[in-house]
Amino acid sequence: MDPDAVAAPPPVIVVEVPSPGTSCCRASCMDLLVDPRRPGLIHHRRAGAAIETRIVSEGSLSLDPPGIVLAVDDLFGAR
């Protein structure tokens, strides 16, 4: 991205890592929620007029687009 740009392109993935004071209600507007207190990923994605939610606590999560795979153990370490 141009460092002098005044606008950013729309994001493909939005990730939030909540702090202890962050309300859990904000998760509904996120694409990917990573909570360091509870190893796992919460993924929200559009599916037509609906929003699908997946909770992945082991294994991996495929994000397409942009075509990446996130392994839970890579983010949180082996438990």
- Please give the residue range of the domain that contains residue 20: 15-76
Residues 16-73 pLDDT 10s: 777 766 655 454 455 888 887 788 899 988 888 888 999 999 999 998 878 889 998 8
In this predicted structure, what is the pLDDT of residue 28? 47
Number of domains in the chain: 1
Neighbours of 72 (CB within 10 A): 19
Phi, psi of 16 (to 5 degrees): -125, 135
In a domain, 2, yes or no: no
0.75 exceeded by pTM = no
In a domain, 7, yes or no: no
In a domain, 60, yes or no: yes
Is residue 42 a contact partner of residue 26, using CB atoms and an 8 Å limit?
no
How far CA 20 is from CA of 31, 37, 56, 64, in Å, comes to 19, 9, 21, 30
In a domain, 22, yes or no: yes
